[in-house]
Amino acid sequence: MTRAVLAIAQLTLREALRKRVFVNLAVFAALMVGVSLLMTGLTIGQHQRVIHSVSFTVLAVVGNLLAVFLGAGLIAHEVERRTLYTIVSRPIRRWVFVVGRYLGLASVLAINTLIGGLLVKVVLMISNYPAFEHFMVSLCLIYAEMLIVLSISVVFSAFSTPTLSATFSFCFWVIGRLSVELQELAVLAKNDGLATAMNAAYSVLPNLGRLDPMNLLIHNELPDGGHVGMLLLYTLLYIGVMLAAACWTFERRDLK
Partner 1 sequence: MSLIEIEGLRKVYRSPFLRREVVGLEQLDLSVETNEIFGFLGPNGAGKSTTLKILTGIIQATAGSAKIAGQPVGTPAAREILGFMPEFPTFHDFLRAEEFLTFYGELSGMRREALPARIDEVLSLVGLPGVQDRPLRGFSKGMLQRIGLAQAVLHDPDLVILDEPMSGLDPVGRRDVRRLMEGLKAQGKTVLFSSHVLNDVEEVADRITVVREGRNVLSGTIESLLSGQRFELVVRQQPASGAWTKTAEGYHCYCEHEEAAQLAVRALSEAGISIVRCQRERRSLEELFFLDISEEESP
Q: Which residues bind partner 1 (CB under 8 A)?
A: 3-4, 7-8, 11, 14-15, 18-19, 81-93, 252, 254-256
Smaller CB separation from partner 1, 94 or 210:
94
Residues 6+ apart with CB under 8 A from 220: 132, 133, 134
Burial class (CB in 10 A: 0-12, 13-18, 19+), 197: middle
Radius of gyration of the chain (CA): 20
Report in angstroms how near the CB of residue 107 gets to partner 1 at its nearest: 17
> Which lies closer to partner 1 via its Cβ, residue 10 or residue 183?
10
C-beta of 87: minimal distance to partner 1 in Å? 7
Q: Number of helices and strands (H, E) in the chain?
A: 11, 0
* Nearest approach, Cβ of residue 88 and partner 1 (Å): 6
* Closest to partner 1 by CB, 102 or 135: 102
Pairwise CA distance, residues 140 & 62, whole Å: 15
Give the orientation angle of helix 94-126 with respect to helix 135-157, to 10 degrees: 150
Q: At closest approach, how far in Å is the CB of 94 from partner 1?
A: 9
Q: Alpha-carbon distance 35 to 233, whole Å?
A: 35
- In the bound state with partner 1, the residue whose beta carbon lies nearer, of 6 and 125, is 6
Nearer to partner 1, 53 or 157 (CB): 157
**Least distance (Å) between residue 143 CB and partner 1:** 25
Torsion of CA 27, 170, 115, 55, to 10 degrees: 70
